[in-house]
Structure 1
């Protein structure tokens, strides 16, 4: 927003409270400005973006967004946009997540340790456990054991559904074309084989679901939007969220100055969250987010340290 001639040339951003008409908007100004808070479009700077809408379309069903540009209204201001105001909700500004008190630490599972972990699980009657299955199971088990409460708990994992759509989409398709699948709610300490079996069964069930008609992730978002609470906050248990990026070739990226010696995700402020990435030597690098108290227990878990090494570069 632009001020008077003798004032600084701009200020903000400020929230749009109300659309008066096509040329005038009511702005949420601090009281110390002592000016009327209805402004002409010409007085709204192109750099002001006060909110973000995830959809400019209509929800067609429980899993589909119809791209017809009839969704949220937008005001074009020079080379930027200001969306119409909306009520409070988790998707008003989804680019900024609710911050939680947590710390991040990373752990490396070498190729040899992964093989040993897979052999351990396979010895308990689980056929051909995958690297992702055993790492997710161990990290989830140790994180749940480190929890400060005795609440029941559940593991939720993201799943890429490009290949399962009809017709299948190419892996380079842009967008969050995904869903989630959840293990049953667990209580107490569980064996690794039991957790791996639950992960596998839940994933298989998700793979056979018509995710273009019923998508658990979309249902979770819509539920959060209607209640004004965050995703997974409606479940009667502690939810641990995991995402695997092991199929993404981060280690092969080359922007002209060589491939990276290592790669990692940016920081997150969400507790009970972990992410998996490949390493150069065929291992898996895991980023774990827990409260400080829980992390102090987790990082000293003897079962975890039997297979994982704390990252010395963090």
Structure 2
């Protein structure tokens, strides 16, 4: 069985983060993931705060948009946090929402080219290498971090379309999928990423992180989750209706692990009004999976 975690979505304001973090840490949630949706909380500020407020949590960023920051700035952010909290940051990057990137004047004409140039440069900088490159988007002249981390953290890369998924396998250590992804899609995505990995001559294991919307409670919680899923799709797969008490949720996410997910990260409803309670529920799911 893989890892379990929870998401603090930016639908909640920054001041709600500490209570959610402390509840997750106290409940034994292994991973807490954060998003960098424009124009809400920033990824690295919230990640550093979450790590400082907790003692065991690993904190994932799922994701920070590649076009939004120069690769050297991203490397500095990751290196600083990794040195402050060794082994507890899971950095994730991706294309970002293209309309948002357009709003800030950062939209790349070729997001795939940007990813192909950016992720290897980011990894090299984190490894302490001096990087000189003159790509279409990534251009650096003898750039080296003064304070690289002791180890390069795994870089998780978001991907949905077939071409992007293959590229995540080529350049990333893992792929992250958004909520609404069925177990069948998880299996297809992993196969595509592994195909890209093989093309790149990489034979090590590839991680696959999937966000899964969930609700804790009885019939009312299930109905609210079903209503939210209906807003995403006219024909939501029954496998996506992950609701109930902790044992029921643990059972409902097993197909995602069977399909190849290495981490299932539970996402609260947009109207969730008890984030600490949700975090405690995820902790109970983690205990149920360990006991099982």
Fold shared per TM-score above 0.5? no
TM-score normalised to structure 1 length: 0.27
TM-score normalised to structure 2 length: 0.28
Structure 1 or 2, whichever has the larger Rg, is 1
Q: Would you tell me which structure has more helix in proportion to its own residues?
A: 2
